[in-house]
Amino acid sequence: MGRFIRIIRSSADRSLGIILFLLVWELLPTLGIVNKAFLSPPSSVVVSITKLFSTGNLWVHVFASLQRSLSGLLLAIVAGTLLGLFLGWFKRFEAIVDPLLQLFRQISAFALFPVFILFLGIGETSKTAIILWASFWPILLNTVSGVKYVDKLLIDSAKSMGGSQSFLFFRVILPAAAPSIFTGIRLGGAYCITALVAAEMIGSSAGLGFYILNSQEIFQIPDMYAGIIVLAFLGLLLNYILAVIEARFTRWKKGLSVNA
């Protein structure tokens, strides 16, 4: 019984901030403090989301956005992890390449969007490229950091027992760096959702970013906020999935438990 009460209290504490936020949001336009034309109350947004569900348009936009974001994120995971492992393992190579990488990572994905369009057109390839670029850097930097800062005692212990370089890399370095790598992947997931909106604002006919911008242009403000809310939930879902995958691959971490 005591455990049940603790769960209820914890859920109430976690929900309180959201409830207060929604209440303030509902009251501001309802009481006329903020113009309803600019800030639709949550009740109107819920109606718009329900309409999206009932017409089936929601799934068209969600599927288009998922296809783009996952394509870019998966490419970023592969490229960022492989290059990060290589840079973290080979110190001299990192010393040569790092200044160039530090320069490139300062360039915003949004600033490069015109370049991607020039070379790749306004189709799906340029949209995937901007998501890839935005997601790539946190994955790369966290992977490099994870490999470089593996506990030296672990490495020395493996070497003292005659472990080969391949054993050292796959059985010591990679597992020890996994938490940092997954932190980068989760950050990359957040960046890919942010870049998705910008990517879909040009040359798209479907996707949540397109839906948000199109709703704003035709002044369907409740629909605009509905698209924003759905996009936020999509980001939360992606982060949750990545967190579950991380937990399964890093079960050795102390205190970690995963519900099957």
pLDDT at 4: 60
Residues 6 or more apart whose Cβ sits within 8 Å of residue 169: 89
Cα–Cα dist 179/252, whole Å: 10
pLDDT at 256: 44
Highest-scoring range by mean pLDDT, 26-35, 126-135, 142-151: 126-135
DSSP letters along 25-55, please? HHHHHHTTSS-TTTS--HHHHHHHHHHHHHH
- At residue 12 the predicted structure's pLDDT band, cuts being 50, 70 and 90, is low
pLDDT at 96: 87
pLDDT in tens, 18-38: 888 888 988 888 888 888 888
CATH superfamily of 39-249: MetI-like (1.10.3720.10)
Q: How far is CA 30 from CA 18, 23, 224, 229, 257, in A?
A: 18, 11, 18, 19, 45
What is the value of pTM for the model shown? 0.82
pLDDT at 170: 73
pLDDT in tens, 172-184: 788 888 888 999 9
163, pLDDT greater than 70: no
227, pLDDT greater than 70: yes
Cα–Cα dist 202/166, whole Å: 46
Span of 44-58, 61-75, 162-176, 225-239 with lowest mean pLDDT: 162-176
